[in-house]
Amino acid sequence: MIERLERAFALSEKGARDMIKGFAACTVHNLSLFIPVSILYFLVTDLLQGTLTGHGIWYAAACIASVFLIMISYRWVYRATYFSTYIESGVRRVSIAEKLRKIPLSYFGKKDLADITSTIMSDAATLETGLSHWVPELVGAMISTTIAAISILFFDVRMGLAVLWPLPVAILIVILSRNVQHGLSKRSMDAKMESADGIQECIETMRDLKSCNAEHLYLEGLFRKIDRVERRAIISEVGTAVFVVSASFILKMGIGTVALTGSILLASGKIDVLTFFLYLLIVSRIYDPLQSSLQNLAAVISLRTNVERMDEILFHPLQEGCRSLTNNGYDIEFKDVHFGYGGKEEVLSGVSFTAKQGEVTALVGPSGGGKTTVSRLAARFWDIQSGEITVGGMDIGNTDPEALLSLYSIVFQDVTLFDNTIMENIRIGRRGASDEEVIEAGKLAQCLPFVEKLENGWNTMIGENGCELSGGERQRISIARAFLKNAPIILLDEATASLDAENETEIQKALSGLIRNKTVLVIAHRMRTVENADRIIVLSGGRVAEQGTPSNLMAKKGIFSHMVELQKESSEWKL
């Protein structure tokens, strides 16, 4: 049962156990609300029979005791449902964050940022509400109603059936609507995600939209997406209401059934007035928790969509491996590597080469040839379909990704910065580095010229993703991280693409010191960036078309030689 609850509601083991306690608390609380009905029944009995004398003190004590019992049971409900759920909600969000830290980066290639953010925030909040307000009350109401039903059936079967017949019918109506409501909920969620993606894309691309005078055209499409969210929400609410209102109507019919059945039995002398009165009291009470529970049942069914989105993350396969590194040196070797994103059409087909320690290996070739893919696979951002990639003889496919990445300093073409100071953005390269070490790394990356112009220097806040800085300045901070980390393997993906010629030359001089005795894998489109590389790998169509020293490849008059000649021609082009 614990495992079923964990999977059904994206719970931890403790959260599942706490939910069972919540079920028990709600059941006890619902049953405690029947106590005043019993007291009233016995009070009326004594009044009619004239035996109230001497019992007044006991009724007063019973009323006080029932109030305290209801208060205590409600406090238990609060702690067992709301309080426990809020703790579990925090555990769930941390679990998702931990899972996102460990799952393969290929997952993020398939998911939009808005979708993942919605799962962490919106879906988690919806589950928090559902597991604190809906599920325990629903289960508690069903258990307490079952117990009450058995009791009143023993007291009088005919009147008991008159009270209870609407319950299974009403519940059956909502349960049978499960697939319909799940479909409505899923389509509503799809519309919300489409709208969220559109809003995020609009914000991120507003500069390009304005420069092309295309913002009005884009916003027209975005407004249609927002309107669709509204339509889907209305349809979903109406679809739910059809079943819930129908079920509630059936429940209300139970009151009429009890009144009619009781009147007939009373007129025929088969029951007395007190029994009739008792069942009128019961029917006024027994439907109350179930009335809200039917609405909760519909809400619980709609939770299925949120849970599925949550479970997609929580149960996604991990990239795992040995945390102890067994490499002998830092040579990177690709052996007949085949790879395709999502297992689809191959991007790399039989790629084999070695990037040796102490040498600079450059990856060049036409766009779409697989250069960036090779660099990502070298750091195990994705797992290959076949072949082998080793670092110092160690198969990286059997190595824990976090342990493996301790060997790498990586400078991406697309720089990611945080809304923090320049100092802290560089310190990402090595946590715990002193301010002096951070500043020295920044100087090596040629950050000092622009930092000196800022009012707060190294402690200047740079905005979201470094929006206060130019592209070249952002690139230099990324390079400074690599200097600070000072790992034995360096991956440079167009590391100097955003720099002017002067700064590029200065940083290349600094990189020369950084890469000494290290394994360096460089991706570049500008041939002047790789003209001094020790070895060049030419990738074309996902295969190694050529490899060798720059001079040897120039002599072959192949792809590399052709690329060099084309760039020389383009450099001489004039307006």
**Concatenated DSSP letters for 70-104?**
HHHHHHHHIIIIIIHHHHHHHHHHHHHHHHHHHS-
In the β-sheet with 543-548, what is the strand arrangement from edge to edge?
408-411, 489-493, 519-523, 360-364, 535-540, 543-548
Calculate helix-pair angle for 178-204, 215-267, nearest 10 degrees. Answer: 160
395 pLDDT band, cuts 50/70/90, is very high
User: Over the stretch 425-481, which tens digit does the pLDDT of each residue have?
Assistant: 999 888 888 999 999 988 888 888 888 888 889 998 988 777 788 877 888 888 888
User: Is 486 domain-assigned?
Assistant: no
pLDDT of residue 552: 86
In the β-sheet with 386-391, what is the strand arrangement from edge to edge?
348-355, 332-339, 386-391, 394-395
CB neighbours of residue 22 within 10 Å: 26
Residue 317, classified by CB atoms within 10 Å of its CB into exposed (0-12), middle (13-18) or buried (19+), is exposed
User: Would you say 491 and 460 are in contact if contact means Cβ atoms under 8 Å apart?
Assistant: no
Number of domains in the chain: 2
For residue 134, the 8-state DSSP code is I
Residue 342, pLDDT > 80, answer no
485 vs 510: CA distance, rounded Å: 14
Which of residues 314, 330, 351 is at a domain's end? 314
Q: Could you tell me if 26 and 170 lie in one domain?
A: yes
- What is the pLDDT of the chain when averaged over all its residues? 83
pLDDT of residue 496: 63
Q: Could you tell me if 248 and 343 lie in one domain?
A: no
Residue 390, pLDDT > 90, answer yes
For 413, residues 6+ apart whose C-beta sits below 8 A from its C-beta are 372, 493, 494, 495, 497, 523
User: Over the stretch 191-215, which tens digit does the pLDDT of each residue have?
Assistant: 888 888 888 788 878 878 888 888 8
User: Is 530 domain-assigned?
Assistant: yes
- Please provide residue 546's backbone torsions phi and psi, each rounded to the nearest 5 degrees: -150, 155
The structure tokens listed for 82 are 């709301």
The segment with the largest mean pLDDT, out of 74-88, 289-303, 561-575, is: 74-88
Residue 115, pLDDT > 80, answer no
Average pLDDT over residues 305-322: 81
User: Is 499 domain-assigned?
Assistant: no
Residue 284, pLDDT > 80, answer no
Q: Work out whether strand 535-540 and strand 360-364 pair parallel, antiparallel, or are unpaired.
A: parallel
The structure tokens listed for 135 are 């599920």
Average pLDDT over residues 319-348: 85
User: Over the stretch 501-537, which tens digit does the pLDDT of each residue have?
Assistant: 666 676 666 677 667 788 988 887 766 667 778 888 9
Q: Could you tell me if 163 and 213 lie in one domain?
A: yes
Which of residues 281, 314, 347 is at a domain's end? 314
Q: What is the CATH number of the domain that holds 560?
A: 3.40.50.300
The structure tokens listed for 401 are 């990704």
Spell out a b/e string for 193-231, using b for 16 or more CB atoms within 10 Å of the CB, else e: bbbbbbeebeeeeeeebeeeeebeebeeebeebeebbee
**Domain extent for 14:** 2-314
User: Is 495 domain-assigned?
Assistant: no
CA 535 to chain centre: 42
Q: Could you tell me if 270 and 335 lie in one domain?
A: no
Q: Which of 87-91, 114-118, 214-218 has the lowest mean pLDDT?
A: 114-118
For residue 324, the 8-state DSSP code is S
- Please provide residue 390's backbone torsions phi and psi, each rounded to the nearest 5 degrees: -125, 150
Q: What is the CATH number of the domain that holds 49?
A: 1.20.1560.10
pLDDT of residue 391: 92
pLDDT of residue 423: 92
Q: Could you tell me if 333 and 300 lie in one domain?
A: no
0.85 cut: is pTM over it? no
User: Is 461 domain-assigned?
Assistant: no
User: Would you say 247 and 268 are in contact if contact means Cβ atoms under 8 Å apart?
Assistant: no
User: Is 466 domain-assigned?
Assistant: no
Q: Could you tell me if 378 and 309 lie in one domain?
A: no
Q: Work out whether strand 543-548 and strand 519-523 pair parallel, antiparallel, or are unpaired.
A: unpaired
pLDDT of residue 3: 80
Which of residues 284, 314, 344 is at a domain's end? 314
Q: Could you tell me if 56 and 74 lie in one domain?
A: yes
73 vs 66: CA distance, rounded Å: 10
User: Is 236 domain-assigned?
Assistant: yes
User: Is 333 domain-assigned?
Assistant: yes
- Please provide residue 344's backbone torsions phi and psi, each rounded to the nearest 5 degrees: -90, -150
Spell out a b/e string for 372-396, using b for 16 or more CB atoms within 10 Å of the CB, else e: bbbbbbbbbbbebeebebbbbebeb
The segment with the largest mean pLDDT, out of 44-48, 52-56, 545-549, is: 545-549
Query: What distances in angstroms separate CA 478 from CA 349, 421, 461, 494, 554, one per listed residue?
Result: 31, 13, 16, 12, 32
289 vs 428: CA distance, rounded Å: 54
> Which runs of E-coded beta strand occur in 384-480?
386-391, 394-395, 408-411
Beta-carbon-side half-sphere exposure of residue 121 (alpha carbons within 13 Å): 7
Query: What distances in angstroms separate CA 113 from CA 105, 119, 182, 209, 303, one per listed residue?
Result: 13, 10, 24, 20, 22
Q: Work out whether strand 489-493 and strand 408-411 pair parallel, antiparallel, or are unpaired.
A: parallel
Helices within 111-214 (DSSP H only) = 113-118, 124-129, 135-155, 157-164, 166-176, 178-204, 206-211
Q: Could you tell me if 310 and 389 lie in one domain?
A: no
Phi-psi region at 446: left, alpha or beta (left = phi > 0; alpha = psi -120 to 50): left
Q: Could you tell me if 341 and 309 lie in one domain?
A: no
555 pLDDT band, cuts 50/70/90, is confident
For tokens 């799952």, the residue is 103
pLDDT of residue 437: 92
Q: Could you tell me if 204 and 337 lie in one domain?
A: no
9 vs 15: CA distance, rounded Å: 10
Q: Could you tell me if 26 and 167 lie in one domain?
A: yes
User: Would you say 96 and 310 are in contact if contact means Cβ atoms under 8 Å apart?
Assistant: yes
Q: Could you tell me if 115 and 212 lie in one domain?
A: yes
The structure tokens listed for 22 are 């919540």
